[in-house]
Amino acid sequence: MKKEYDVVVIGAGAIGTSVAYHLAKAGYSTAILERGDIASGSSSHCDAVALICDKLPGIDTKMGQASIDYFAEIAEQFEYDFEYVPKGCLYVCETQTEFDAASEYCAKQNADGYKLRMVGREELCKMEPHIAKDLAGALYTPESGAIAVSPYKLCFAFIHEGRKYGLETYTYCDISKINLDAKTNAVESIETNYGTIKTKRIVNCAGAWAPFVGELTGLKIPIEPRKGTNLVSEQTERLCNHKILEYGYMLSKFDNINFKRKVSPLVEEQNIAFNLEYTPSNNLLVGGNRLFRDYDIRSEIETLKAISERALRFFPELADIKCIRAYSGVRPFVTDHLPIVSDVDSIPGYYIAAGHEGDGICFSPITGRFMEQIISGKPTDFDITKLDFARFAKAQA
């Protein structure tokens, strides 16, 4: 192990590996530390899409589209294939009330320049012949705003490309202490089971575990783990042609949307919002939900029942397809549903790129670029003041 780096990145999921790649490419001597293996946290316990249609209008969608556009660039540039596939998305509406609400959302996004459109029942059934025939319609996002990638391979792609610029990785690395200068409170070094590393800059990319890294310097980072579960089917013939989500997903993701579905108590209790997609191996991923269960990622039988119940409402033929396994993970939840991508005023040299909740994969390329721009003192591609860590101190003042 080298004893000194320009920057040390903590956490080797999609966000951390992207940040490390961008910094190494910019000429910084960079190390990435991971307590497990590459992509062993949330990035190996999630689905595989990047969308704009599951985001609130404003900076959330702007980041999503910028990152999706950037994915297309790096898919061409990277030597390592991370299974990038533009695929389009249908956000299905069970009732006319949902359809009307989705239409309002669509109009807002259209006004901001995003190419979404509403499709009625007849067109929906032509686009998805196996879907339930009594749905009101859907919000359609074209391939330019909805893509799929392999989360595992994405992380390894960033590492592979970063190593071309000298990036060094340390897996199964436990951090015991972050030392700060006694006078300036600036970052000085990190103590690990590999030894002490001198550095003037660290980037906390530990996702749902970012608060634990924060505690090493007395920093309170307001991120909570929010659990999600997916079922995995046997390999099947094509049941759907797009990424499918239900409008209720927005209700599940954002607490401030004034809408309630008519669903069973089990579905409501488990906070289920149906989504469906194929993997490149023709297995179906069937989800999903959002629950606060601390860091427990064991799949719960009641959750699996509720996901199955909701899935059959939209695709009845799923009843004939076997489920071969299930998995759960945690999302790094922030109360205002925006990530933290900024420096920390009170600790010179300390940066945070975490709190992306379910958008870590989607936002990973643009977050890496933003963090390199911030550390290099460059202007970011667009204004990301809303992502500043200082917003929490202002809210408490």
Domains of the chain: 4-45+151-223+336-396 (3.50.50.60), 99-140+225-329 (3.30.9.10)
Closest CA to 362 of 74, 159, 67, 116: 67
List the structure tokens of 271.
């906070």
What is the rounded distance in angstroms from the CA atom of residue 36 to the CA atom of residue 39?
Answer: 8
What span, in angstroms and rounded, lies between the C-alpha atoms of 287 and 230? Answer: 4
Count CB atoms within 10 A of the CB of residue 293: 16
pLDDT of residue 364: 97
Residues of the chain with pLDDT under 70: 251-259, 394-397
- In this prediction, residue 375 carries a pLDDT of 99
pLDDT value for 397: 41
- Determine the Cα–Cα distance for residues 164 and 167; give it in Å rounded to an integer: 7
Measure the CA angle with vertex 24, ends 349 and 67; round to 5°.
90
pLDDT of residue 248: 75
**Angle between helices 14-25 and 360-376 in degrees, nearest 10:** 30
pLDDT at position 233 is 98
User: For residue 119, how many other CB atoms are within 10 A of its CB?
Assistant: 20
Q: Pairing between strand 202-204 and 350-354? A: parallel
Q: Is the peptide bond before 288 cis (omega within 30 degrees of 0)?
A: yes
Per-residue pLDDT at 251? 66
In angstroms, the CA 29 to CA 25 distance is 9
